[in-house]
A and B are shown apart, each in its own frame.
Chain A
Amino acid sequence: MKKLIMTAVAIGLGTIALADTPASILKSYEAEAGAAGSVARGQDLFMSQHTGGKPDTPSCTTCHTSNLKASGQTRVGKTIGPMAVSANPERLTDAAFAAKWLRRNCKSVLGRECDAQEKADIIAYLMSL
């Protein structure tokens, strides 16, 4: 019994240490920004047309579409899993992956990197759907 509890605790700690969750990723960006993520601001940023970025990708919806519970598509036809956390169990479970794509895609769409507040807003929005 003691052994079993020890094992369970070890697995639990291991899981916490290894796997990121949407909440943990959101929390780290909120901590960096010093404010909570806003669903409304996140939605506005995600759904708007922008002009500062690369001409082929004026909006997040260019590839992700405006239905975030459904799959999107890259410009060369490859399927992108749903962005909504509720529709895709893998979404926002790898902080490094999320960071890489937030960096790349903000530069493609906005022409600059997003700040921590904007990232927190987007993540809050994707978690709210």
Chain B
Amino acid sequence: MSRQQNPTDCEPSVPVWDKFVRIFHWSLVLCIFTAMVTGFLMGPEMVPVHVYAATTATVLLFLRILWGFFGPTYARFSSFTFSPRTVLRHALAVRSGHAKRYLGHNPLGGAMILALIAAIALLGVTGAVVLGGVLKIGPLAGFASYMTGDAAKEVHESIALFLLVLVVGHIGGVAFESKHANDPLVPAMVTGKKPARDGDVKSPTVRVYLRTMVVVSALGLAITVGGMTAMASKKSANMPVTNISPLVADECTACHMFYHPSLMPAKSWAALTATLDDHFGEDASLDEETTAEIRDWLMTHASETADTQPANIFTRALANGAFTLTEMRFWKQMHHEFSDADFSAAPVYTKSNCAACHKDASTGMFSPFKIEE
């Protein structure tokens, strides 16, 4: 082991965190920070950023787990996995001020790393269920219903809060050690080196299986990507109708954008088509026969028949037969950041012109990946 003199305090320093661990750590920090800010604080237009950051975090985590088996001494799980009893004993020792110094993670720190890994892995899994069930994209789109996705969202949010607590604990622990044990842990995660001191608890040196790591991770990623691609090819059930009635398309887009039938329940379509002579302030009446044909088609493909997010939410929100989407509480929540002036300005002109920003509005999907402002 190479020993270097630290010019500032004359303590010898030893390498502890290898380059992979350091790059992984700070990349993960960036990804989790991005995912937390976009997930907790920002609107639906940031969902793509959230998903990309979270996917990157999951891939990083996958590689880190493998590195925990094939990497160098202090990257190994074996160097920081302790029995609960050892963790407890260490915690008590910290409280009494007699804790031993570990060159790698101490038992409490190691437990924290395991908890962080578990939380992020669970977030990845539950996130994929949300993506599939609610947004109908990704490997689980054909497997998860909206209801499943919506339930997974609750779990995902709870784990995310738990992760936030863990992150605070992790940073708190590092700050505590830095101060009370005079151990520069943050610089160590940058340079990879820690000062060596008498009485340090060291892990037995192990060799690095670099070739195995490369082969296993390449194979693992290939199998995962292949499997997910295969899964993604399964069609979701109860998707909004794509074969649009030419009559409905023609008549209903004479003045405004095409509102997909899956955006409102049958009751709302019945009420709307019954009042075409005063249609949002204009006469849009048609002869009886045409009106009936349009009404029947809209009711046949109404929101009750589709399992998308808008269909599920609007079926409930408009259960009373109302048909002004922009007056729904959900609609207002989703658009609270925009002022009336934002809507009246060209090229939007009105709140009812969904397609100005939602490029997939006519399909009824309203994916956050299709928002362009």
Instruction: Tell me the A residues contacting B by CB distance below 8 Å.
Output: 54-57, 73-78, 100, 103-105, 107-108
B282 and A56: CB pair below 8 A?
yes
Closest 9 CB pairs of A and B: A77-B349, A107-B283, A56-B281, A74-B255, A104-B283, A76-B256, A108-B283, A76-B350, A108-B282
Digitize B259-283: 1 where CB-to-A-CB distance is under 8 Å, 0 elsewhere: 0000000000000000001100111
Task: Tell me how far the C-beta of A56 lies from the nearest C-beta in chain B, rounded to whole angstroms.
Answer: 4
A77 and B281: CB pair below 8 A?
no
Closest residue of chain A to B282 (Cβ to Cβ) is A108
Instruction: State A25–B349 Cα separation when bound (angstroms).
Output: 34
Task: Tell me how far the C-beta of A58 lies from the nearest C-beta in chain B, rounded to whole angstroms.
Answer: 11
Q: Determine which residue in B253, B257, B283, B285 has the highest number of CB atoms from chain A within 10 A of its CB, and name it.
A: B283
Q: List 18 A-B contacts (CB under 8 A).
A: A54-B278, A54-B281, A54-B282, A56-B281, A57-B282, A74-B256, A75-B282, A76-B256, A76-B352, A77-B348, A78-B256, A103-B285, A104-B284, A104-B285, A105-B283, A107-B283, A107-B285, A108-B282
B281 and A55: CB pair below 8 A?
yes
Known A77-B350, A77-B356; further 16 A-B contacts with Cβ < 8 A = A54-B278, A54-B282, A56-B281, A57-B282, A74-B255, A75-B282, A75-B349, A75-B350, A76-B350, A76-B353, A77-B347, A77-B348, A77-B349, A78-B253, A107-B285, A108-B282
Task: Tell me how far the C-beta of B280 lies from the nearest C-beta in chain A, rounded to whole angstroms.
Answer: 8
Chain A residues near B349 (CB, 8 Å)?
Answer: 73, 75-77
Q: Which residue of B255, B284, B285, B348 contacts A78 across the interface (Cβ within 8 Å)?
A: B255
- Chain B's interface: helix, strand, loop or mixed, by majority? loop
Task: Tell me how far the C-beta of A99 lies from the nearest C-beta in chain B, rounded to whole angstroms.
Answer: 11
Instruction: State A107–B284 Cα separation when bound (angstroms).
Output: 10
Instruction: State A31–B266 Cα separation when bound (angstroms).
Output: 44
B283 and A54: CB pair below 8 A?
yes
Count of A-B residue pairs with CB < 8 Å: 48
Interface size class, chain B: 20 to 34
B283 and A76: CB pair below 8 A?
no
Instruction: State A124–B281 Cα separation when bound (angstroms).
Output: 28
Task: Tell me how far the C-beta of B251 lies from the nearest C-beta in chain A, rounded to whole angstroms.
Answer: 9
A76 and B257: CB pair below 8 A?
yes
Chain B residues near A73 (CB, 8 Å)?
Answer: 349
Chain A residues near B282 (CB, 8 Å)?
Answer: 54, 56-57, 75, 104, 108
Closest residue of chain B to A113 (Cβ to Cβ) is B283
Chain B residues near A54 (CB, 8 Å)?
Answer: 278, 281-283
Chain B residues near A78 (CB, 8 Å)?
Answer: 253, 255-257
Closest residue of chain B to A56 (Cβ to Cβ) is B281
In chain B, positions 7-62 with a C-beta closer than 8 Å to chain A are none
Task: Tell me how far the C-beta of A72 lies from the nearest C-beta in chain B, rounded to whole angstroms.
Answer: 11
A75 and B281: CB pair below 8 A?
yes
Chain B residues near A74 (CB, 8 Å)?
Answer: 255-256
Task: Tell me how far the C-beta of B105 lies from the nearest C-beta in chain A, rounded to whole angstroms.
Answer: 60
Chain A residues near B277 (CB, 8 Å)?
Answer: 107
Task: Tell me how far the C-beta of B31 lies from the nearest C-beta in chain A, rounded to whole angstroms.
Answer: 40
Closest residue of chain B to A54 (Cβ to Cβ) is B281
Task: Tell me how far the C-beta of A118 lies from the nearest C-beta in chain B, rounded to whole angstroms.
Answer: 16
Task: Tell me how far the C-beta of A79 lies from the nearest C-beta in chain B, rounded to whole angstroms.
Answer: 11
Chain A residues near B347 (CB, 8 Å)?
Answer: 77
Instruction: State A57–B255 Cα separation when bound (angstroms).
Output: 14
A57 and B281: CB pair below 8 A?
yes
Chain A residues near B286 (CB, 8 Å)?
Answer: 100
